[in-house]
Amino acid sequence: MAEEIEIDTDDLERRMDGAIASLRTEFASLRTGRASASMLEPVMVEAYGQPTPINQVGTVNVPEPRMVTVNVWDKSLVGKVEKAIRESGLGINPQLNGTIIMLPIPELNEERRRELSKVAAQYAENARVAVRNVRRDGMDQIKKAKADGMSEDDQKLWEAEVQEITDAHIARIDAALQTKQDEIMQV
C-alpha cells in the first residue's frame, strides 16, 4: 500500500484568491460616475525617465463625490501628469490650478454605462480563466500523483475538492461582477 499522497489545496486556493484580488483592482479602476482615488491607479506618468504610478508623483485626494484632485509635488511634472491622465482613456478632462490638477467626474450616459459594464464582464472572464488555469494545474498534480501510486478513490476525492474550490471562486467572481455592474448601471 502506497503512503498517503497530499495535494496542496492551500496553494491552489491562494492562487485563485490572487485572481480575485486582481479582479477587484481592475474593477476599482472602472469609473462609475463617483470619484475614487483608485481610478487613477493604472495611470503611469513618464517621470525621471521611467513610467511611474501617479500616486508616487503627487497626492491623490477626493474632496467631493464628483471631484478627484492630484497635488503634484514636482512642478516640472505637472504637464506630464496632466498628459498621462488625458491619454489614459478614463474619459476625464483635467483642469490645472497651479500644481493641483482637478478632475471633475462627469455623469455617465447610458451608452458609456453599457460599455463599462462590458469591460467589467471582460475583466471577470479573465479572472475566471485564471481560476480555471489554477484548477487545471491542480488536476495535473492529481494525475501525476495517480501515476505515482495514488488510489483511484483518493484521486476522485481530490478532484472533487479542487472542483469545489474552483466553483466557490467562480461564484465569488460572478457576485463581484454583478455588484460592479449594478454600481455602473445605477443612475
State how far the alpha carbon of 144 is from the alpha carbons of 45, 77, 114, 141, 169, in Å.
46, 54, 45, 5, 24
pLDDT in tens, 130-156: 999 999 999 999 999 989 888 899 999
Q: Return the pLDDT at 136.
A: 95
Residue 88, pLDDT above cutoff 90: no
Residue reference for cell 496542496: 8
pLDDT in tens, 2-31: 456 678 889 999 999 999 999 988 887 776
CATH class for domain 34-104?
Answer: alpha beta
Residue 177, pLDDT above cutoff 90: yes
Q: Which of 42-56, 81-95, 114-128, 146-160 has the lowest mean pLDDT?
A: 81-95
CB of 73 within 8 A of CB of 58? Answer: yes
Q: What ranges do the domains of the chain cover?
A: 9-27+109-185, 34-104
Q: What is the mean pLDDT of the chain?
A: 87
Instruction: List phi, psi (to 5°) of 145.
Output: -65, -35
**What three-state secondary structure class fits 154?**
helix
Question: HSE (CB half, 13 Å, CA atoms) of 96?
Answer: 12
Q: Is the pTM of this model over 0.85?
A: no
Domain 9-27+109-185: assigned CATH number: 1.10.132.20
**What three-state secondary structure class fits 97?**
strand
Q: Return the pLDDT at 4.
A: 61
Residue 1, pLDDT above cutoff 50: no
> If you average pLDDT over residues 65-70, what whole number do you get?
88
Q: Return the pLDDT at 37.
A: 79
- Please report, in angstroms and rounded to a whole number, the separation of the first and last CA atoms in the chain: 64
Residue 45, pLDDT above cutoff 80: yes
CB of 40 within 8 A of CB of 50? Answer: no
Q: Angle of helix 9-28 relative to helix 152-185, nearest 10 degrees?
A: 10
